[in-house]
Structure 1
C-alpha cells in the first residue's frame, strides 16, 4: 500500500481501559481521532450492570475465535468530523464525535494476511449489524475485520442497550446533525486509524485496506465514494459494495459490486470497466439462510429473541452468497496489490420487457453466476419473496420432492459427482474458492441424495 500524508500524520493515542482513567489529550483535526481500549468485558456478561467491566460488545460474535487464533476487541473512537449532505455539500466542520469500532483480528502477526476489511455496520433493522462478517472465510485467509458504528440509529440503540458501555457515544454533534451527515467522515477516519499501527490492531500492520458495506451501508459508501472523497483525501485501497448500490464515478481505487438475484431488478446495468466489476448471483437472496442462522442466537442473547416472519413463500434461499463475496474479496485484494483485474461474469437474463427475469422449467433464474446449488439443484432457490416486513429480501427455498430428485439423480453418486464438477468450473472461473468447494462437497455427501 502506498504511503500517504494520512498514513504519516495520523497517530494513535491508545488507552488500556475506559474513560474512567486519566484523560488523554483531546482529539483534533491536526492530531486525528483518539482511540480508547480495548474495552473490558466479554460474553457472557450482565449488560445491565453499572460497571462497564460487566458488559460486553453488542452483537459480539459467538464464534470461538481463540480456537482460530483470533481475538475480538472493542474500542471507542473520538475525534472531530466534517459533515456532508447526500449531494456532496459540506454542511459542517470539526464537529466532535465519539463512536465505537469492533476489531476481529489474528492474535499473532505471523497469521495476519495483511488485509483488513472495514465494514460500515448496517442499521436497517434499527441496530448495528455485522452483515458481512463471515468467520469461516475471514479467519481461514488470515484477514482482519473491523466494524464501524457510523450512523445515529445504531449508536442510539447502543446507548440504550448499555448506558454503562455506550452512554458517551454520539455521532450527531449533540443532536445538531441527525441525518448522518458526520457518518462519511467518521467511517473514513476509522479506516485511517486501522491503517496505522497502534492499539486498535494490536500492532498488526495493514498492507491492503478494503472498505465493505452491504445493502443500506453500500448506499452510504456510494455517497462517500461519489460525492465526498473527490473533495477530501483517499482512504481505502479498494471498495466492496455487496447487495446494494455502487458508485458511478470512476476513481483510482478498484470497485467490486456483488449482487444477489433479489437486487437485480432491471436489464439496465452498468458495464464493467478497468476499475469496476459487477457480479450477479443466480438464486441468491439479499438476506439468505446462512446469515439468519448465524444471527438467531445472538438476537436471543442481545435482543431477547430472534425475529420471526410470515412470508408468502418459504423464506431464505440456501444459495451461499457468502461464498461469492469471499471470492470477490480475494480478487479485490489481488486487484489492489498486483493490478490483476477480476474475471467478468455473465449477468442474469431478462425477458423482452427488461423487468421480468428469465427462468428455467424449475423456476430458477437463467444467467448470472451459477453456484452448484443452482446448476445442480435439489430445491427451488430464488431471490424473490413477498409478505410482511423484510420478506422481500429473503428469497425462497422450496425443496424438490423425492420423485423429482430420483428423476434428476437416478445413479448412485450422481448428485455428488455433478456438484463436484459444477464447483470445479466455478473455482476455475474464479467465482468460488477451493475451500468453499470442499464445503459444498461435504454437504453433498451428507445429503444422501443420489446414492
Structure 2
C-alpha cells in the first residue's frame, strides 16, 4: 500500500480459554486400563544438560545446540537446555510389525521450559523434530504461545537423517549419537520407541518441574511418523502420551484411547473426502494458510544463516509464503487438547473448506478459499493469501501472498473505521468460537502477527 495505509490489525476479546485443574479424565482412565497387555516402554538414561546453551562464535559450532533458538528466553523466564538420551529400543516397520528388540541407541533432546516452577503450566509439548529439509527442524516451536501459556517444549531427534546431520555439523558434540543400531536399521525402525522413551524420561530433564500432561506434536513428515506410531505401534505398547496433535500432516484413523487433534492448512486439504469428527478425533482446516508460511520462514532464516551458512532461497511461480497465521490456530488447538485430556471436554467443531462439484477448491471473487476457519486476515483481507503455489522444491508448500493494490483496498474499505470494525468483529468471533486465543487477537491489534 502507498497513500492508502490501513492501520494495524485490530481485535477485541474478553473470552478466555483458560485451563481448569480437574481430576483425571476418562481418557486417562481408559488408557491406564488398556496397558495390562501392552509392552512397557523402556527406560532411557538422561545425561546433561550439555554445556554451551547460548550460541557463541558461529565458527565454533561445538559450543551450542544445533538450531538453538534466537528468541529471548531469559526475558520470558525460560531456559533452553540440551540432553543426551540413551537406551535400548525396539524396532517396528510401518505396519507395526516388530522387527528388532533391545537395540542400543543414543540421541539428543532440546528442552525449552520455564526456569521457575511457579511459571509452569504442567504441560509438555513433545515435538517429533521434522527432517524433511535434511536436518532437525523445530517446526512447531512458537515462543509467544508457549511462554505465555507456561508450557514446556521438547524437541526429540528420532530419525537418522537429523542425527546424521548433527554428527556432521559437530562431531565433538554429537559424534556419539546413533539411532540406527550401528547402521543395521537405517529406515527409522527404532524411531517410534525412541520418541516414546524420550518422553517417558522427561522428568529427568525438567529441572524438578512436575509434568501433568504430555502431548505428542508433529508437523508434516513428523505427523506421518506419529500416525504410524498411533495407528500401528501404540496398540502394542504402553501409552506415554496423554494426547496427540497432528499438524499439517496425516492423522490416524484408528479410534484409540488418547484424543487426536488434526490441524491442516489450506495447502494440506486436497479432497472433499474427510473423516468425521468423533469424541476422540477433531479436525480443523484453516483457509488461506500455508503448509509452511511466512512466520516460520522469518524465524528460521537467521538461524539457518548462523548454523548452515545461508538461508534457503526459492524461485516460486507466485510470491510465496502466506501471511495467514496458522500458528494462532495451532496455539488454540493445544489449549483445547489439554482441556480434552484433563477434563474430557472435546474441542469445538469447525467448518470444512468448501469444494466445487469438479473437486476443485471453492473460492470467492478475490481468489480466497471458501469455508474453513477464517481468521481476520482472510475474512477482512488486504491481500490474497492462499495455500497454493508452484515452482521448485518446496514452493508448493509455501502458499502465496499478493497484496491488493490501492484501488481494490479503497473499494473494499472506503473508510478506515469500517475496516477496523470488521477486523474486530472477525477476531472476536474467532475467539468466541474457540479458534483463536485472546492474546493472539491482541497481537493482531498491536501489529505483531
TM-score (norm 1): 0.90
Q: Which has the higher contact order (CA 8 A, sep 6+)?
A: 2
Unaligned runs of 5+ in 2: 1-23, 33-39
Unaligned runs of 5+ in 1: 6-28, 447-451
Among 241, 248, 256, the residue aligned to 1:251: 256
- CA contact under 8 A between 1:109 and 1:204: conserved in structure 2? yes
Correspondence list, 1:40-439, <5 A: 40-46=51-57, 49=60, 55-194=63-202, 197-198=203-204, 200-353=205-358, 355-439=359-443
Deviation at residue 265 of structure 1 after TM alignment: 0.3
Residues 299-355 of structure 1: per-residue CA shift (max 9 Å, x gap): 0000000001000000000000000000000000000001111000000000112x3
DSSP-derived class of the 1:256 partner? strand
Deviation at residue 48 of structure 1 after TM alignment: 6.0
- CA contact under 8 A between 2:431 and 2:441: conserved in structure 1? yes
DSSP-derived class of the 1:67 partner? coil
- CA contact under 8 A between 2:389 and 2:399: conserved in structure 1? yes
Question: How much is the aligned-residue C-alpha RMSD, in angstroms?
Answer: 1.9
Distance in 1, matches of 2:354 and 2:130, equals 29
Distance in 1, matches of 2:225 and 2:418, equals 46
- CA contact under 8 A between 2:79 and 2:113: conserved in structure 1? yes
Equivalent pairs counted in the alignment come to 417
- CA contact under 8 A between 1:283 and 1:381: conserved in structure 2? yes
Deviation at residue 47 of structure 1 after TM alignment: 6.5
DSSP-derived class of the 2:85 partner? strand
Deviation at residue 415 of structure 1 after TM alignment: 1.6
- CA contact under 8 A between 1:419 and 1:441: conserved in structure 2? no
Higher mean alpha-carbon deviation, 414-423 vs 135-144, is at 414-423
Distance in 1, matches of 2:399 and 2:94, equals 30
- CA contact under 8 A between 2:42 and 2:88: conserved in structure 1? no
Distance in 1, matches of 2:316 and 2:403, equals 16
Distance in 2, matches of 1:33 and 1:435, equals 38
Residues 86-135 of structure 1: per-residue CA shift (max 9 Å, x gap): 01110000000000000000001100000000000000000000000000
Distance in 1, matches of 2:280 and 2:132, equals 29
Distance in 2, matches of 1:88 and 1:118, equals 21
TM-score (norm 2): 0.90
Residues 133-158 of structure 1: per-residue CA shift (max 9 Å, x gap): 00000000000000000000000000
Deviation at residue 418 of structure 1 after TM alignment: 1.1
Among 48, 57, 75, the residue aligned to 1:37: 48
Instruction: Give the 3 Å change call, closer, same or farther, for CA 315–47 of structure 1 in structure 2.
Output: closer
DSSP-derived class of the 1:57 partner? coil
Residues 341-387 of structure 1: per-residue CA shift (max 9 Å, x gap): 1000000000112x300000000000000000000000000000010
Residues 395-436 of structure 1: per-residue CA shift (max 9 Å, x gap): 000000001101111113222221111000000000000000
Distance in 1, matches of 2:167 and 2:258, equals 35
